[in-house]
Amino acid sequence: MPTQKEIKELEELHEYYQKRLEIQKLRLEKQIYLRKSAERLFNKDLESEYQITMGAIQNTIENHREEIKRIEFEMAQLKTSFR
């Protein structure tokens, strides 16, 4: 049975992960918005630059998604330690 101090520490850690998760989701939304903006601005004359930019944005999106998955996994592990 965890002590009050341990419970408080776990709650604080959960809150920390929750905030990190919210930040990552906002970052992901921003990158998706940037990708959509780049798609709207696409011009055949700028195709190679467009492809480079889209590749970088897509990599960033994937990184954010992976970070969200990692945070959610850590939060799930944290929840199991409450039990």
pLDDT in tens, 41-70: 776 667 778 788 889 999 999 999 999 999
Estimate to the nearest angstrom the gap between the alpha carbon of 54 and the chain centroid: 18
DSSP structure class, residue 41: T
State which residues form the domain around 21. Answer: 13-82
Q: Is 36 inside a domain boundary? A: yes
Residue 5 included in any domain: no
User: What global pTM score does this model have?
Assistant: 0.59
Let me know if residue 4 belongs to a domain.
no
Domains identified in the chain, total number: 1
In a domain, 18, yes or no: yes
The C-alpha atoms of residue 41 and residue 74 are separated, in whole angstroms, by: 38
In a domain, 7, yes or no: no
Provide the token pair at 1. 């049975």
Two tokens, residue 71: 């945070």
Q: 27 in a domain, yes or no?
A: yes
The overall average pLDDT reported for the chain is: 87
Q: Is residue 47 part of a domain?
A: yes
